[in-house]
Chains A and B, each alone.
Chain A
Amino acid sequence: MIQTDILIIGAGPCGLFTVFEAGLLKLRCHLIDALPQAGGQCAEIYPKKPIYDIPAYPEILAGDLVDQLMAQAAPFKPGFTLGERAETIVKDDEDQFIVTTNRGTVHRAPIIAIAGGLGCFEPRKPPVDRLEEYEDRGVEYIIKDPEFYRGKKVVISGGGDSALDWTNFLADGVASEVTLVHRRDGFRGHPDSVQKVIDLAEEGRIRLLTNGEVVGVDGEEHLEGVTVKHKTEGDIRLGCDHWVPLFGLSPKLGPIADWNLNISKNAIEVDTFDYSTGVDGIYAIGDINTYPGKLKLILCGFHEATLMVQSAFKRIYPDKNLVLKYTTVNGVNGF
């Protein structure tokens, strides 16, 4: 079990800056993130895009901002549980929270800071009727083990790198039949992968259906086929064992929605005095919270983190006097 002072759910900019502010008050932090690396959206979605509204940085790449925040937090030796999603929360008889991830890692802390941004990134599911009925019975949103598709008839949807790469991989003697369905003629993947798909289609080794999208699924117990709505040819039914829609990731609030917090419009309601939620000891900062006048900006999240750790300190040490520490006086003293 991992014991810490502040358990931060979400290792984006706001969560990382919390480590620094908490460290100044001698509070230790541990971060959990569903993504395999720290940095949240900045690292996952747009690491190479510039951000212009970070004070004192006229321009900084999102990835560089994450690197700087990691360096700023480093003296306080944060712990990380990455690639795991915070799943359940319970309180023990010593007024500490126990948070367990989807992989069973157990964390214990008197304070929880939810800095989950827009939530966990999950595969985008196309709006097809009865899709849920076939999940894990022929419909998969991620290819975990290509061997699973050996000898099967597979339909893949999407136009990005993962759709192209898996089409090429499965067509190379793994699946018995591969069809790639894409909404338009152009592909946005790597030019080599695009060319390979086109070559395979011309050689008759895959079926390439552009200008179409899957609009229906059918089958008794297991998926037996999909229906493609084609721009010029109308509806086409494709018999298949598997349909793998690959449309990227989108954020979902995830299990936090079941933590008995006050949720409004997919965000956690907080008191702007200290960004506390309705549950004593649980705070929410950054894009995941909401209050009157809320702005989803990184710099606002930094401010929220700073005020939040003051309140957290008082909750952990009710009898200690809290003195605001100016780093200009003593510098930063790490652990």
Chain B
Amino acid sequence: MSTIRVTVIDREDVSHELEAPTDMNMNVMELCKSAELPVEGTCGGMAMCASCHCYVEDAASADLPGKSDDEEDMLDEAFHVEDNSRLGCQLHLRDDMDGMVIRLAPVG
């Protein structure tokens, strides 16, 4: 089983170093929830709410997949949207994301 390290900065500015498997088709939202970080994931990862809105502060060596129309549409209903905004549920963990840094967006 292959694992990578992902840093998640929570809303209190605390960094959490998380180990994440890359062979389970896991996404950033699920990773945060499994670490009991305050991410709702209301819709269960279908890009149908924006409760896993986060910022990719450092994508490491990953060439991140572009935003689908669904993801872009849902970000329209989020607040505090920046150029590096993503829905965590749409970022599936891959080996080239080792060292990635994610920041949770404010709740809203």
Q: From A133-141, A245-253, A304-312, give the one contacting chain B.
A: A245-253
- Closest chain-B Cβ to A78's Cβ sits at a distance in Å of 26
B76/A127 in contact, CB under 8 A: no
| Chain A residues positioned under 8 Å from B73 (CB to CB) | 159-160, 188
CA distance in complex: A258, B105 (Å): 28
Question: Contacts A186-B72, A188-B72 given: A46-B77 contact, CB under 8 Å?
Answer: no
| Chain B residues positioned under 8 Å from A49 (CB to CB) | 46, 48
Question: Contacts A127-B79, A127-B106, A251-B42 given: A45-B49 contact, CB under 8 Å?
Answer: yes
Give how many A-B residue pairs fall within 8 Å (CB-CB): 50
Question: Contacts A250-B42, A251-B42 given: A46-B48 contact, CB under 8 Å?
Answer: yes
B106/A188 in contact, CB under 8 A: no
Residue of A nearest to B36 (CB): A265
- Closest chain-A Cβ to B98's Cβ sits at a distance in Å of 28
| Chain B residues positioned under 8 Å from A184 (CB to CB) | 72, 76
- Report if A98 contacts B (CB, 8 A): no
- Report if A126 contacts B (CB, 8 A): yes
- Report if A158 contacts B (CB, 8 A): yes
- Report if A183 contacts B (CB, 8 A): yes
Which bracket fits the contact residues of B?
10 to 19
| Chain B residues positioned under 8 Å from A28 (CB to CB) | none
B49/A250 in contact, CB under 8 A: yes
- Report if B24 contacts A (CB, 8 A): no
CA distance in complex: A41, B45 (Å): 13
Chain B residues 40-79 with CB under 8 Å of chain A are: 40, 42-43, 46, 48-49, 51, 69, 72-73, 75-77, 79
1/0 per residue, CB under 8 A from A, across B75-90: the answer is 1110111000000000
Residue of B nearest to A117 (CB): B42
- Closest chain-B Cβ to A22's Cβ sits at a distance in Å of 27
- Report if A124 contacts B (CB, 8 A): yes
Which residue of the partner chain, among A45, A124, A188, contacts B43 with CB atoms under 8 Å?
A45
- Closest chain-B Cβ to A298's Cβ sits at a distance in Å of 10
B80/A127 in contact, CB under 8 A: yes
- Report if A153 contacts B (CB, 8 A): no
- Report if A182 contacts B (CB, 8 A): yes
| Chain B residues positioned under 8 Å from A118 (CB to CB) | 40, 42
Which residue of the partner chain, among B46, B49, B76, B106, contacts A160 with CB atoms under 8 Å?
B76
| Chain A residues positioned under 8 Å from B46 (CB to CB) | 46, 49
Residue of A nearest to B75 (CB): A183
B48/A159 in contact, CB under 8 A: no
CA distance in complex: A216, B42 (Å): 28
B108/A124 in contact, CB under 8 A: yes
Residue of B nearest to A245 (CB): B79
1/0 per residue, CB under 8 A from B, across A219-254: the answer is 000000000000000000000000000011011000
A126/B79 in contact, CB under 8 A: yes
- Closest chain-B Cβ to A155's Cβ sits at a distance in Å of 16
| Chain B residues positioned under 8 Å from A250 (CB to CB) | 42, 49, 51
Question: Contacts A159-B76, A160-B77, A183-B81 given: A45-B108 contact, CB under 8 Å?
Answer: no
Q: Give the 5 A-B CB pairs with smallest separation, nearest first.
A: A188-B73, A159-B76, A248-B77, A127-B108, A247-B77
Chain A interface (Cβ < 8 Å from any Cβ of B): 41, 45-46, 49, 118, 124-127, 158-160, 182-184, 186, 188, 213, 247-248, 250-251
Chain B interface (Cβ < 8 Å from any Cβ of A): 40, 42-43, 46, 48-49, 51, 69, 72-73, 75-77, 79-81, 106, 108
Additional 4 contacts, C-beta under 8 A, given A118-B40, A160-B77: A41-B43, A125-B108, A188-B72, A213-B81
